[in-house]
Amino acid sequence: MIRLKSLLPRGLYGRAALILIVPIVTIQLVVSIVFIQRHFDRVTQQMTRGVIIELNAVLAEVAERPDQARQMAQALGIRLDLPAKPAKQGQRRVFYDLSGAAVIETLQTELPGTTFVDLETDRDAVLLQVALPQGAAEMRIDRKRVSASNPHQLLVVMIVTGAFMTLVAYLFLRNQLRPITRLAVAAEAFGKGRVLAYRPSGATEVRAAGLAFLAMRERIERQIEQRTLMLSGVSHDLRTPLTRLRLGLSLLPEDEETAALLGDVSDMERLVDEFLAFARGDAMETPEIADVQALVRRVVENAQRLGQAVELGPMSGPSEVRLRPVAVGRALENLVGNAMRHGRRGLVGVVVTAERVVISVEDDGPGIPAARREEAMAPFARLDHARDANRGARAGLGLAIAADIARGHGGALVLGESLWGGLKAELVLAR
């Protein structure tokens, strides 16, 4: 069963074609076997028996008046050679000669003395030899007299008509499948963060599915817009008092207590930035064609200017891809920052294929156990101190933001083990 499923087409068009072709071919085979094998075989047997009556008359004349037998055979449309040289035995016919089997069987059964029947040497005639006391008599009969002439024509008509009707049915079915394909394309594009123009069409059920998709997409877009407006207000409300607090602290005398309070304000601003970045995601940015290699190179250079030991790894594949460059840059910065917090060096590379973009960030830190990698990508996740010895207050949203941006591009964030034994984070984006 598994092997059979692997041979079946996976696409909707292929399966629809299979649904059309299998019944038509089955009907043609059944009609061919039942109609041709039964009806035309009986017709062939009846026609052959009529010729056998004439052959018996000629053979009886050969036994009594051999000289007049040739004239009689010629009058009946039979060529007679007496005696036949050399004498032969057996039968010959091509494998696709369906009615030939009935001709040979009828001649050998109902014409006594038949030793040889040949339907292969001359396709338009029946050559046979009959054993007589005077020797073997060879006779030639027109093939049209012993078998129906249109079985093959019927097959051709059936095949041509079946192929034509299959084509017509497929064209009609394609018009019904095309709206489903368009709906799938629109849904897949929306899952990757792109909004394609889509208008429901097709059958009633397909239109209902299309309208449901449009309603769902509209609700999601409205929720994103409302969340963005809310976050804009929250950002303003939170940053204003923090700014006043920082300004007030800057007016106080510089001492250890004031420095500690300024550090707390910086931590609060960083936490607010992380919260807003996670809540905002990448929904407000429109996908565009961008140079992913230049984007990766810029993030690495920025990290190097901050004194971080980040190296640029191998980059392969085309550089121009469609993505949200600001969001991808933010996700990559989070991954690089996460690597530098837990390791001493990092390596960033990118591989672009026809189906996806893979940006990898490796470090030489303690890594994350395989059993806890899924947990590490959850919002506000805090692992043990071996990996999560944060410098300053952190919200635990770095990996969660990167995973959310990857999902917004139809991909995922994959965590593994680096070449140095640390953590390898792969930002996989669908193309």
> pLDDT tens-digit profile of 45-89?
889 999 999 999 988 888 888 778 888 988 899 998 888 778 788
Joined together, the tokens standing for residue 102 give: 């009935």
Do 302 and 330 reside in the same domain of the chain?
Answer: yes
Three-state DSSP at 347 gives strand
User: Per-residue DSSP letters for 114-165?
Assistant: EEEEESSS-TTEEEEEEEETTEEEEEEEEGGGTS-S-HHHHHHHHHHHHHHH
The alpha carbon torsion through 425, 305, 393, 369 (nearest 10 deg) reads: 20
Do 297 and 241 reside in the same domain of the chain?
Answer: no
Last-in-domain residue among 224, 255, 280: 280
Residues present in the chain in total? 431
Last-in-domain residue among 280, 296, 314: 280
Do 31 and 137 reside in the same domain of the chain?
Answer: yes
User: The domain that contains 228 carries what CATH number?
Assistant: 1.10.287
Range of the domain at 369: 285-430
- Residue 280's pLDDT is 59
Question: Measured between alpha carbons, how far is 308 from 227 in angstroms, rounded to an integer?
Answer: 35
| DSSP-derived secondary structure letter, 255 | S
| DSSP-derived secondary structure letter, 281 | T
**Can you give the three-state secondary structure of 358-396, one letter per residue?**
EEEEEECCCCCCHHHHHHHCCCCCCCCCCCCCCCCCCCC
| Backbone dihedral region for residue 421 (phi beyond 0: left; psi -120 to 50: alpha; all else: beta) | left
| Total domains present in the chain | 3
What is the Rg, in whole angstroms, of the alpha carbon atoms belonging to the chain?
43
Q: How many CA atoms lie within 13 A of 117 on its CB side?
A: 22
Joined together, the tokens standing for residue 267 give: 């931590």
Residues of the chain with pLDDT under 50: 1, 385-393
- Our CA angle for 293, 421, 328, nearest 5°, is 25
Last-in-domain residue among 280, 298, 322: 280
Q: How many CA atoms lie within 13 A of 31 on its CB side?
A: 14
Do 62 and 190 reside in the same domain of the chain?
Answer: no
| Backbone dihedral region for residue 312 (phi beyond 0: left; psi -120 to 50: alpha; all else: beta) | beta
* H-helix segments, 281-323: 292-305
Do 290 and 262 reside in the same domain of the chain?
Answer: no
User: Is the distance from CB of 75 to CB of 57 less than 8 angstroms?
Assistant: no
Do 137 and 23 reside in the same domain of the chain?
Answer: yes
Do 269 and 298 reside in the same domain of the chain?
Answer: no
- Residue 298's pLDDT is 92
Fill in the amino acid letter for 335: L
126 domain-assigned: yes
Fill in the amino acid letter for 317: G
Question: Measured between alpha carbons, how far is 315 from 112 in angstroms, rounded to an integer?
Answer: 87
- Residue 324's pLDDT is 85
User: The domain that contains 321 carries what CATH number?
Assistant: 3.30.565.10
Do 394 and 296 reside in the same domain of the chain?
Answer: yes
Do 327 and 291 reside in the same domain of the chain?
Answer: yes
Do 295 and 262 reside in the same domain of the chain?
Answer: no
- Residue 398's pLDDT is 75
Phi, psi of 314, deg, nearest 5: -65, 145
Number of CB atoms found within 10 A of residue 235's CB: 16
User: 266, 418, 394: which is closest to 343 by C-alpha?
Assistant: 418
Largest CA distance in the chain: 148
189 domain-assigned: yes
Number of CB atoms found within 10 A of residue 292's CB: 23
pTM, to two decimals: 0.50
Phi, psi of 400, deg, nearest 5: -65, -40
User: Is the distance from CB of 310 to CB of 333 less than 8 angstroms?
Assistant: no
Beta bridge partners of 141: 78, 126
User: The domain that contains 26 carries what CATH number?
Assistant: 3.30.450
Do 138 and 257 reside in the same domain of the chain?
Answer: no
Do 60 and 80 reside in the same domain of the chain?
Answer: yes
Q: How far is CA 132 from CA 61, 79, 83, 392, in A?
A: 12, 16, 9, 117
264 domain-assigned: yes
